[in-house]
Amino acid sequence: MINYNFFNPTKMIFGENTIGQIGSVLSGAGHKKVLLIIGGGSVKSNGVYAKVTDSLKSANIEWSECSGVRANPELSKVQEAIALAREVGIEAVLAVGGGSVIDTAKAVAVGVYLDDVWQAFERKITITRALPIFTILTLSATASEMNSNAVISHTEAGKKWGMGNPFLFPQVSIIDPSVQQSLPWEQTVNGALDALAHIMEFYFVGTVEETTIAINEALMKTIISMVDKLQVNPKDEASRANLAWAATLALNGISGAGLKGGDWACHGIEHSVSSYDAKVAHGAGLGIIFPAWMEYVHANNELQFARFAQSIWQCDTIEQAIEKMRAKIKQWQGQTKLRELNIPENSLAAIAENATMRGSLGSLKKLGTEDVEKILRLAY
């Protein structure tokens, strides 16, 4: 096994009726004024916003607000929030929402100290500090609530890029899975597909890392069976909770321990797809691209793909497993072909170019522009 470091400083507060703790969490950390960041309004209609602001008021925490973060969040919103943060003077950022809101908050936390936050995504500057980050998660998918990554779209430049830095770990995150009952069904599925993808990005480079591989198999089986249960009963609290925790563990460092940094080609390809068309949900894109990538690269780690076929899908061959995976996504009413997302076929070459603008993708098999285009065609 290779040597590795494991580090995760985020404190998690998990469970029903935990959102009301945010005021005392912030005041306990010595903060009196925060920037509250939210998305397009779901937190107002499902009662989360009221719980958060009631808690802030009772702890005498002042807040300024930045709302309207869209899915596949944009640099322009980050810049707007940074300007507000500088104008009003804040001590911490509080994200209330899904991965898009949390990633925006992370970029703001770093960006208030930088002339041009995009330079951090371009990896042209070293991050030396950030405002403290607190999150209340409303959609289990990205694990951004417990990791040190942020993904932002620079729309004008056609770049959807991520950055990773230890300063981006939230200090405290609250997950009340019951607030995810208001999710539209497809968002529950998208979240689960993203979490599965995070595990698979690591899993398929595995060889002898039995502990992490076995944890990852347990996480994948749990995610699949919890979505199956939620499809029958969307109000099933235990399944929401188990899905939420599995999604957090899927990308908080645990699932990658020893697995050489993972592969991440599918994420690179998907980010290019949702950069091309921001209406594409990240998880939906991954549910289409991952099976196509598996078809293309499985010969590069035949044993591990055979293990996946057996362990997760009870299949003798990887080809059968890929078909079973697509059938499962269809059963969940998800899409299995890029054409179903209304991506024009004549855009695939440009999407492949964009995905590889910083060089080849992946580690299991290094993928150049032509390889990526072939995978996109398999996914079409």
Residues 283 and 185 sit within 8 Å (Cβ to Cβ): no
Instruction: Give the residue, chosen from 74, 145, 176, 194, that forms a contact with Zn ion under the rule CB under 5 A.
Output: 194
Q: What residue type is 312 in one-letter code?
A: I
Output 74 or 194, the one with its CB closest to Zn ion: 194
Alpha-carbon distance values, 213 to 216, 245, 287 (Å):
5, 18, 21
The reply to whether 100 sits near ligand NZQ by the rule CB under 6 A is: yes
Show the tokens assigned to 15. 């469970």
Binding segment (CB under 6 A) for ligand NZQ, from list 22-30, 113-121, 144-152, 331-339: 144-152
CA–CA dist 37, 66 (Å, integer): 5
Alpha helices in the chain (DSSP H): 22-28, 42-45, 48-58, 75-88, 99-111, 118-121, 185-203, 210-232, 237-249, 265-276, 282-297, 302-313, 318-331, 348-355, 369-379
Output 147 or 311, the one with its CB closest to ligand NZQ: 147
Rounded to a whole number of angstroms, the minimum distance from the CB of residue 274 to ligand NZQ is 6
Cβ atoms within 10 A of the Cβ of 342, count?
A: 9
**String of contacts with ligand NZQ for each residue 28-57, x by CB under 6 A:** -----------xxxxx--x-----------
The reply to whether 263 sits near Zn ion by the rule CB under 5 A is: no
Residues 25 and 134 sit within 8 Å (Cβ to Cβ): yes
- Please state whether beta strands 92-97 and 33-38 pair in parallel, antiparallel, or not at all (unpaired): parallel
Q: Which of residues 113-142 bind ligand NZQ (CB under 6 A)?
A: 138-139, 141-142
Output 194 or 209, the one with its CB closest to ligand NZQ: 194
The reply to whether 151 sits near ligand NZQ by the rule CB under 6 A is: yes
Show the tokens assigned to 328. 């499962």
Binding segment (CB under 6 A) for ligand NZQ, from list 84-92, 110-118, 174-182, 320-328: 174-182
Write out the residues near Zn ion by the rule CB under 5 A.
Answer: 194
Write out the residues near ligand NZQ by the rule CB under 6 A.
Answer: 39-43, 46, 71-73, 97-101, 103, 138-139, 141-144, 147, 149-151, 179-180, 182-183, 187, 190-191, 194, 251, 267, 282-283
